[in-house]
Amino acid sequence: MGEGCRDFYGSSEKMNPYQYRAPPVGIELVPRPLKMRLTVRPLGVGAGSHARQGALGQLLGVSLGMVLGVILTSLIKHLILKPHLCLTKRSIPVYDDMNDVFRIIGMDKSKNTQNSAKNLVFVGVMTANKYLDNRAKAVYETWGKQLPGKIAFFSSESSSTDANIPLIRLSGVDDSYPPQKKSFMMLKYMAEHFADHFEYFMRSDDDVYVRPDRLELFLRSVNSTHPQFIGQAGRGTQDEIGLLSLKTDENFCMGGPGVIMSRATLLQIAPHIRDCLKNLRSTHEDVEVGRCVRKYAKVPCTWSYEKAGDVLGVWLTPPNTGRREAWEADWHCGPRQLTER
């Protein structure tokens, strides 16, 4: 700034550039904004590569998210549709190993009909998940432990219980009624796992009471090497005559009191179980089992009512008696009263 000129502060004196002087009253100093330098350049090869990498990353992220979503959805559906895989009353694994199967029924695998008198009969009790804690438990705590053999309770694949009973869950089987599939698959299971270890095999319901002492005396008097199909013979009710596809000389063993097969009979029908299931001609499980035995083992149910009435089971919930409630009340009264009667 030259001499004789008035400066910003109205003074003609020469300014000292290093001396700070406050601005006059009424004047405000505003800082000058910083200048931003913007460089503009055309898109080149490098910019396109970055764009393609960004798009590829987004596509990869979306794909990974979809895969994880499918996996999580499948897992959730699996746990919902099969609750037995989650925590239930008692987690019961599916037993595929032969040693585990024998552990269930409390039996030494080395024991068989040749070296043990306790291997006379294997009893398979058909039951359902809702009856495991009452009917099945009562059967096991009474006549089930007095058998000259072993017993197991066959139920649906999803069954679980706190009761200390030998439970076998049949793969692919539910508790629907009538239980044709459950019955046939139980027989198939018996043949595959226990055929070499017992002389006789009994199919029983969970609402019967069996006399084990009389059962043993009777079975030891019968030749188990021959095909045998023992039970209370029937041909259906009057209303069912002609509707069960039975000829005049054909019968079946009624399932209620229990049915006994010799080892020879079981082995002859076992390879044809699935064929019998595919060719059902009625809704009655015992009728169809009898049809299968008659076709492949070539034996009918015994016509001897004395055998069935004196040896096999007594219905605790007999049908068509008008006293079902009374019988069920007796059943639930407890194991001690059952054994004392």
Structural domain boundaries in the chain: 49-81, 98-340
At 58 the pLDDT is 75
**Residue 210 pLDDT level (bands cut at 50, 70, 90):** very high
What is the pLDDT, as a whole number, of residue 165? 95
What fold, for 98-340? Spore Coat Polysaccharide Biosynthesis Protein SpsA; Chain A (3.90.550)
Cα(131)–Cα(125) distance, integer angstroms: 11
Cis amide leading into 31 (omega within 30): no
Grade residue 34 by pLDDT with cuts at 50, 70 and 90.
Answer: low
Cβ atoms of residues 273 and 187 within 8 Å: yes
* pLDDT of the residue at 71: 80
Give residue 20's pLDDT: 56
Rounded-to-integer distance, Cα 108 and Cα 41, Å? 87
Inter-helix orientation angle 180-194/285-296, to 10°: 50
Mean pLDDT calculated for residue range 92-114 = 72
- Signed CA dihedral, 103, 108, 114, 117: sign only: negative
Mean pLDDT of 5-19: 55
Share of the chain above pLDDT 90, in %: 48
Q: How far apart are CA 183 and CA 127, in angstroms?
A: 10
HSE at residue 91, side-chain half, CA atoms within 13 A, is 6
> Which position has the higher pLDDT, 5 or 64?
64
pLDDT score at 326: 34
Closest CA to 167 of 108, 104, 109, 106: 104
Average pLDDT of the residues in 6-12? 52
Cα 205–Cα 210–Cα 211 angle in degrees, nearest 5? 170
Which of 139, 253, 265 has the alpha carbon at shortest distance from 205? 139
pLDDT at 236: 86
Residue 79: other Cβ atoms inside 10 A: 11
pLDDT of residue 174: 95
Position 189 scores a pLDDT of: 96
Residue 242: per-residue pLDDT:
81
Give the model's pLDDT for residue 111: 84
> Taking phi first (over 0 means left), then psi (-120 to 50 degrees means alpha), and beta for anything else, what does residue 4 get?
left
Residue 134 makes CB contacts below 8 A (sequence gap 6+) with 332
pLDDT recorded at residue 332: 35
Segment 33-54 shows an average pLDDT of: 55
Cβ contacts of 267 within 8 Å, gap of 6 or more: 191, 195
- What is the rounded average pLDDT of the residues 170-190? 95
- Whether residue 296 contacts residue 272, with contact meaning beta carbons closer than 8 Å, is answered with yes
User: Whole-number mean pLDDT of the chain?
Assistant: 77
| Cα dist from 313 to 115, 231, 249, whole Å | 28, 10, 25
- Tell me the residue type at 189: Y
**pLDDT, greater one: 341 or 177:** 177
Q: Which residue has the higher pLDDT, 10 or 340?
A: 10
What is the pLDDT, as a whole number, of residue 334? 35
Q: What is the pLDDT of residue 304?
A: 60
Query: Which residues in 281-338 belong to E strands, given as ranges?
Result: 314-315
pLDDT recorded at residue 6: 53
DSSP for residue 154: E
Q: Write b or e for each residue in 277-303: b if 16 or more Cβ atoms lie within 10 A of its Cβ, otherwise e.
A: beebebebbbbbbbbbbbebbebbbbe
User: Which pLDDT band, with edges at 50, 70 and 90, does 254 fall under?
Assistant: very high
| Residue range 287-323, pLDDT digits in tens | 999 999 999 999 999 876 445 455 555 545 444 443 3
Residue 27 is predicted with a pLDDT of 59
- Give yes or no for a contact between 258 and 316, defined as CB atoms under 8 angstroms apart: no
